[in-house]
Amino acid sequence: MTSMIFKAAFKNIIGAGKRTWLNVMALSLTFVLMTGYNGIEDGWKEKAWRDSKAWETGAAHLWHPHYDRYDIFTLSDAHGPIPQSLQPYINNKALTPILVTQGVIYPQGRMLNVLLQGIDPEQTILKIPSSELLNNDNELVAIIGTRMAESSRLHEGDRVMLRWRDHKGSFDACEVSIAKVFHTTVPNVDNGQFWIDINQLQKMTGMYEEATYLVASDQFPYKSDVDGWLYKGLKFLLADFEMVLRAGRIESFIIFGVLLAIALLAVFDTQTLAIFRRQKEIGTYVALGMTPTKVSLLFTLEGTCFSILAIMVSIVWGTPAMAIFAKTGYKMPEIVGDIGMAIGNVMYPAFKTSSILISAGVIVSLSAVISYLPARKIAKQNVVEALKGKIV
């Protein structure tokens, strides 16, 4: 009996003609759009996480107790001697120190505030091209990102006046040569950042053997505070990114909730009309021995088959469409680089099996629920009335 109900449900929706294919295409379009949008979000998350770790966070940070990356006024106190217990890890490149202080540059007669970031030229944890800071002429050189170069109108080989304050508050200044302009999708190592040799910065500020924070590699063994320096894992360092991602998920739920509601409304109307027009057919089913509950199941399966057929159709036309999308990606406007998130010029989707299966499951489940709502009247009907073809 159960297999007969499945066969009857499938034959009925195929026989419905245009109504079936309109419902199927509406559900199919929604499913493919959901897959593409989720793919973009998953692809952005993977790339942003990977780029942030490679360029900015490493595996973790150890912060000076007074350091707060959101409060620039803490920088005057946010530095201290590197603990001796951590020195072996710095020597074997499992840690690299960063010293941060404020500075001002004067490109083309303009004044521009910058953050001076002292970094070891021989470090290998971050992708920042710090090796460009090695200079045999003892000339002060710096490397900057493309966004910083654009805002300051500086190019490789240019010289600019730099002013800073030492640990006693005294001002000093000298010329700096731009050794390299590098490209990165991570704005936190680009916007307003001036990278110089940490040894020179320590000498310039009088902060010998001091740092503001330490960047750890995957080989660093500690996962907790060390000698008063605060351990900050990736969950903390990328918390802003996760908040933006959650906000994007909420927006996608709203958008695709509306699309699904429209598509499922068509299924609901189709099933309601079918029950109204097929009252004699329902009576015939009962006369042949089917209980009203099984007839109700038949109509519920018919509505569910719309979504199953839609997924099959989506595989046919959606697979090549998503393959092309994965190859070309989605070109982002240039302004997105200024929002403070790691977003490249092109976002490439990453299609996860779990995400696709969840989207398909949601569509099939909701189709079943929507189809059951009008069909439940049949199960509550009197058998005699059903035999007469009267469904109230």
pLDDT digits (tens, 9 = 90+) for 178-212: 999 999 888 889 888 999 999 999 999 999 999 99
Tell whether the model's pLDDT for residue 71 goes beyond 80.
Answer: yes
Task: Identify the band that residue 344 occupies on the pLDDT scale cut at 50, 70 and 90.
Answer: low
Q: Would you state the pLDDT for residue 238?
A: 86
The whole-angstrom separation of Cα 35 and Cα 39 is 6
Domain regions of the chain by residue span: 2-53+241-387, 60-219
Q: Would you state the pLDDT for residue 278?
A: 66
| Structure tokens given for 204 | 């310039």
Residue 163's identity, in one-letter code, is R
Tell whether the model's pLDDT for residue 17 goes beyond 70.
Answer: no
Tell me the mean pLDDT in the region 240-268: 78
What pLDDT digit, counting tens, does each position of 284-322 carry? Answer: 666 667 776 777 777 778 778 888 888 999 899 989 999
Task: Identify the band that residue 213 occupies on the pLDDT scale cut at 50, 70 and 90.
Answer: very high
The whole-angstrom separation of Cα 102 and Cα 114 is 6
The answer to whether 171 and 165 are in contact (CB under 8 A) is yes
Q: At what angle do helices 292-328 and 18-52 cross, to 10 degrees?
A: 50
What pLDDT digit, counting tens, does each position of 77-133 carry? Answer: 899 999 999 999 999 999 999 999 999 999 988 899 999 999 999 999 999 999 999
CA distances from 29 to 187, 257, 300, 304 (A): 36, 13, 22, 16
Q: Which carries the bigger pLDDT value, residue 98 or residue 40?
A: 98
Residue 368's identity, in one-letter code, is A
Tell me the mean pLDDT in the region 18-46: 84
Q: Would you state the pLDDT for residue 113?
A: 93
The answer to whether 156 and 141 are in contact (CB under 8 A) is no
- Among the residue ranges 32-41, 84-93, 146-155, the one predicted with the least confidence is 32-41
What pLDDT digit, counting tens, does each position of 230-241 carry? Answer: 999 988 988 877
Q: Would you state the pLDDT for residue 12?
A: 63
The answer to whether 392 and 385 are in contact (CB under 8 A) is yes
The fraction of the chain above a pLDDT of 70, given in percent, is 82
Tell me the mean pLDDT in the region 356-366: 87
What does the mean pLDDT of the chain come to? 83
Q: At what angle do helices 353-379 and 18-52 cross, to 10 degrees?
A: 150
Give one DSSP letter per residue of 110-149, joined into a string: --EEEEEEEE-TT--SS-S-GGGG--TT---EEEEEHHHH
Q: Which carries the bigger pLDDT value, residue 236 or residue 382?
A: 236
Can you name the residues that pair with 163 across neighbouring β-strands? 104, 173
Task: Identify the band that residue 387 occupies on the pLDDT scale cut at 50, 70 and 90.
Answer: low
Tell me the mean pLDDT in the region 207-225: 92
Tell me the mean pLDDT in the region 21-33: 85
Q: Which carries the bigger pLDDT value, residue 348 or residue 275?
A: 348
CA distances from 305 to 14, 57, 96, 295 (A): 10, 49, 59, 15
Q: Would you state the pLDDT for residue 27?
A: 86
Beta-carbon contacts of 153 under 8 Å, excluding residues fewer than 6 positions away, are: 107, 108
The fraction of the chain above a pLDDT of 90, given in percent, is 34
